[in-house]
Chain A
Amino acid sequence: MEALFFNVASGFLEGIVRGYKSGLLTQAQYTNLTQCETLEDFRMQLSATDYGNFLANEPLPISTATISEKATQILVDQFTYMRNNAVEPLSKFFDYMTYAYMIDNVILIITGTLHERDTHELLERCHPLGVFDTMPALCVATNVEELYQSVLVETPLAPYFRDCLSASDLDDLNIEIIRNTLYKAYLEDFHQFCLSLGGPTAEVMNEILSFEADRRTINITINSYKTELPKDQRAKLFPAFGHLFPEGNNVLAKADELEQVRQVCENVSEYRAFFDTTSGAGRSNGEQHDDEGETLESLLETRFFGQEVHLNKLAFLQQFQYGVFYSYVKLKEQEIRNLTWIAECIAQDAKERIHDIIPIF
């Protein structure tokens, strides 16, 4: 059925986004980039790709922050173009994608205010995709109630915020809880929305968002068993869907060590390889795991990113669905992370770690 009606409203944009996708850097281009001696060469190599001369007007000692910022700007321009051309329900889908960045921005500003940072500096550091009008007003809030009443009640994040109102005052632990509660509510809402769209969109997005939910669940577990976070509260932060839900989530809520997390993930075939330390599957990281506990956690992060890229690539195998828009933004973000990493390695002359990137195509 999608084939019949999808192109009425979204055929053009799907063509556009697939065009953007073929502009993502390939393995050969990454190889060229890693050969660069200076950031000058790096810029030269990039100008041969779809990035063009996006760094042309920058003053000469280019910082890696500028590269990352300019590359993000390209992504934001593309996103805005597509968002402006979209109609319901695709435009809603795009809006949902920005909510994740909004949550990050809100948390960033609250944390910054707590540590008495400069407001303007904070606003500049916000992700441009998650900017909303009343954002500067966030800086004045001192407790959650006030935050909600004065600022967030107008934003799309308001429904997600309802569950956090119990947290009385803003300190570091509470902010982290707020972030995760918001994110859980957001993921569940987004997942529900995608399922309501039905058809291939639901199929593709279900896979991607389930992984996202499981990744958060595992990360929260790993990061929380050394803190004083009570276990029932931890369970409340887990998104209520995904491959691990519900029985895996229940075990993880009570887990006290990495071994238990590993056992839970054994039950899901896709996740089995994440905790596999024997085969040295972490690409170039193979030789590093002598101190197991520490390295496995950093290894996990890389493997999660790898799996995310893999799932997002799969989304492009189906036509007539919205997953491609989400996947493109995620892949582009990964590419920006890769570029920043390479630029950082060149700038700091750390050539031996330059290959620790996740190539996309």
Chain B
Amino acid sequence: MAWFNKIAKGIQQQKPKEIPDGLWLKCESCQEIIYRKELEKKLWVCPNCGFHIKIDASRYLQILSDENSFQEKDALLRSTDPLNFSDSKSYPERVKEAVKKTGLNSALLSGTCTISGIRVSLAIMDFRFIGGSMGSVVGEKVARAIERAIELKIPLLIVCASGGARMQEGILSLMQMAKTSALLSILSEKKLPYLTILTNPTTAGVMASYASLGDVIIAEPKALLGFAGPRVIKQTIGKELPENFQTSEFFREHGFIDIIAERKNLKVVVSQLLKYLYLPK
């Protein structure tokens, strides 16, 4: 059976993780085959089961911002290799591949735009870029997005999608948590609203810093959220994990999320909140 296992494994490894090309696509949650155009129309939410498929930063930008209002900032920031880190591949090689794959320089797209006419400082993470991991560049871009909000006296919105801090930058990645959290404390003193949208997945270092610090926290349905990964928890406690553990719904139930909003409603929810928290009475 060895040959069969090998082939089966090979097929498994080719399983698509992000949106693949092709006319017909299979929902990774309910396995339903769906026409691509239909999915596009539904903002990449499965029409059969409502599963929110991962989408990249530019698609979130389209969904959230007013047309032609976005001005990108800090696009040229790129990772260096402060630790000279290498595992099976060198870190610069990994970054290079991610740049090639995504056409982005980092795992975060940022700038200013208007949302229903309200100008905001916006940052959107892109999970395709090394799992949306936060290294120095992501941390710095978030920091600058916070400072931009302070300088222009406008609200801040961050769309999160990340497996956590980027291991390849070691302690420097960890300190991005402190850096972003510390700067958010200034934004808060200035009474400028900060909203976060948590998407699948938002965990570890990002969840344990700016993702959890929104004045109002919104999440897409059934996103995987949390501090520790489910596998680590399962190994630690040696028990099966409860159903729905670490989903958006789980965290709303336990008091850590304000609103669960479907993708098509994100813009409306954000606009409404900004009207209450930001616009003059």
Partners in one complex: no
